Homo-oligomer: A and B are copies of this chain.
């Protein structure tokens, strides 16, 4: 770390910083510039006491971190792309995965129709919420265990893999029994108790980016899962919260490129949450594909206008089929194949 000392500090004040750096286990190296002194603290920032607390000293202007905070998720520790094996289905490594299905599992008919439609159009994973995190306690909270049962049914018929969200530490076990992939949603991305519990299930985990999560915080959330023994993590950008109100969120497609640069984990894009509007989903899929996403997570409903949750962002079967055709020509130039 680097500690910047304020201009006009006295030698005694500078010495106090140097002593404190040493006391906290680093080797201090002062450098006297034209107007200010800095102290470089030599030592591994990730295993030592943080020096950010030195900001508490009045003569300290700023403490700057040098090292990145994530290890296991970083490209440096693992230069090759991670490929996740979901019971025979590869995620990452050139294979482009399309996960599609309703926001919420509502009825057997709704789910089975959707499963058949998305499979026919090229999806290999069925998404569907059994437990739904809803802003209001008065909104539809999902079918719970019955939703999981229906997802299993759809898997049996279609052979699609199942991804579904887990909201509670106490649900991890039974959700993991029914799902091929556990989804950690945007609201729980720093719910570390849940991350650790999900890690322990051994299941592949899709980790969404939080609404206002910086990229390094997102990678550190993934680091929690790897550090708890589960390397099968892939990331999902799903829009961040900004001042813009035309869309529900602002899909940050640069985060896709950054996450793939900084980390070896696969990265997919959720355009449905990403914009919150069905009419923008296809064009965002085109962009994501061309930028090298490892897949897409798309909300599809037989009749979005009557959906029990987030109808405005779900596409119908025709629109889903059209978008699968639309992204096709972008796959090969981006180094991806279905």
Which chain A residues have a beta carbon within 8 Å of chain B's beta carbons?
A: 2, 4, 7-8, 20, 23-24, 29, 31, 33-36, 38, 40, 42-44, 46-47, 49-50, 52-58, 63-64, 66-67, 69-71, 76, 133-139, 167-171, 187-188, 190-194, 211-212, 214-217, 220, 223-224, 227-228, 240-247, 250-255, 257-258, 261, 274-275, 277-280, 283-284, 286-292, 304-308, 310-312, 314, 316, 329-330, 332-334
Contact A304 B34 (CB under 8 A): no
Question: A311's contact among B29, B52, B64, B242, by CB below 8 Å, is which?
Answer: B52
Question: A137's contact among B47, B168, B193, B227, by CB below 8 Å, is which?
Answer: B227
Contact B135 A217 (CB under 8 A): yes
Contact B292 A290 (CB under 8 A): no
Contact A193 B169 (CB under 8 A): yes
Question: A35's contact among B44, B54, B245, by CB below 8 Å, is which?
Answer: B44
Question: A193's contact among B168, B220, B242, by CB below 8 Å, is which?
Answer: B168
A169-B193, A280-B254, A287-B288 known; A306+B244 contact, CB < 8 A: no
Copies in the complex: 4
In the bound complex, residues from chain B placing their C-beta under 8 Å from that of A34 are: 42-44
CB distance from A269 to the nearest CB of B (A): 10
CA distance A312 to B55 in the complex (A): 5
CB distance from A293 to the nearest CB of B (A): 10
Contact B253 A244 (CB under 8 A): no
Contact B278 A283 (CB under 8 A): no
Question: A290's contact among B70, B193, B211, B289, by CB below 8 Å, is which?
Answer: B289
CB distance from A223 to the nearest CB of B (A): 6
Question: Which of chain B's residues has its CB closest to A303's CB?
Answer: B56
